[in-house]
Structure 1
Amino acid sequence: MTAGVLVSFILIWYMVPKGLVLSSVLLPIALVSSALGAVLPDLIEPPRNRRHRKFFHSLLCLALLLLYLNQTCLSLLTAGTVDEVTIGIFFAGAGYASHLVLDALTPAGLPVVGL
């Protein structure tokens, strides 16, 4: 969760000078969403044993998620208004990605496809 929140602060620090407007309502949504997104992979695929890492803990999932985050980041920076749902999903995805990156750095790593 800590890594997810840290990633959200980094994204906010990067995106606000580029035009993202975060109101006092959107900032807590971003932070809570990133914290929840950071624990979501282990809720989807609970760590019951060393081989628990399937698709939702895979490099393919991470790659797809990073493509989504890139496109959403570009649209958030070019859109005039930002809604709560888009911010929530974007920052939850960023928290999820932080979880996968940290898992990739462990000795077990991440499977390529996870099937």
Structure 2
Amino acid sequence: MTGRKTHMTAGVLISFILIWNLTSKGLVLSPVLLPIALASSALGAVLPDLIEPPRNQRHRKFFHSILCLALLLLYLNQTYLSLLTTGPADEVTLGLFFAGAGYASHLILDALTRAGLPVVGL
């Protein structure tokens, strides 16, 4: 099972990659964004285990499922494209975007474990 520190590190790394990617594509981001992005992605990276605590090997339900990951990736893609076409968003939208990226990193790391992720998790 992947640890909380590993999930948080991956979430923060994802936020740095996304910030670099967005700025390299010409998006001008406020200096206030960095702490929001880091905190949001770190929180998002541990959120699945807060929602469904890892008490046993079968703790992975809907919020640890491939379906949840797919829906989350659709949201992230739409928000990413919106950021590139309409410019910077408010801090709440950016916070949710980075929290979602951290959450997705958690699910991807869990998918790489031996237990994997359930398809639907019901």
TM-score strictly above 0.5: yes
Give the fraction of aligned pairs with identical amino acids, expressed as a percent: 85
Matched, 1:101 2:108: yes
- 1:83-94 map, 5 Å: 83-94=90-101
Give per-residue Cα distances to partners, 1:62-108, cap 9 Å, x unaligned.
00000100000000111234210010000000000000000000000
2:87 aligned to 77, 80, 83, which one? 80
Task: Name the counterpart of 1:67.
Answer: 74
1:11 aligned to 3, 13, 18, which one? 18
The Cα shift of 1:26 comes to 1.3
Matched, 1:40 2:47: yes
* Paired residue secondary structure (2:43): helix
Partners of 1:77 and 1:17 in 2: CA distance: 11
* 8 A Cα contact 2:40 2:98, kept in partner: yes
Structure 1: unaligned runs, 5 residues or longer: none
Structure 2: unaligned runs, 5 residues or longer: 1-7
Q: Could you tell which deviates more after superposition, 23-32 or 102-111?
A: 23-32
Q: Which amino acid aligns with 1:103?
A: D
1:29 aligned to 36, 46, 50, which one? 36
CA RMSD of aligned residues (A): 0.8
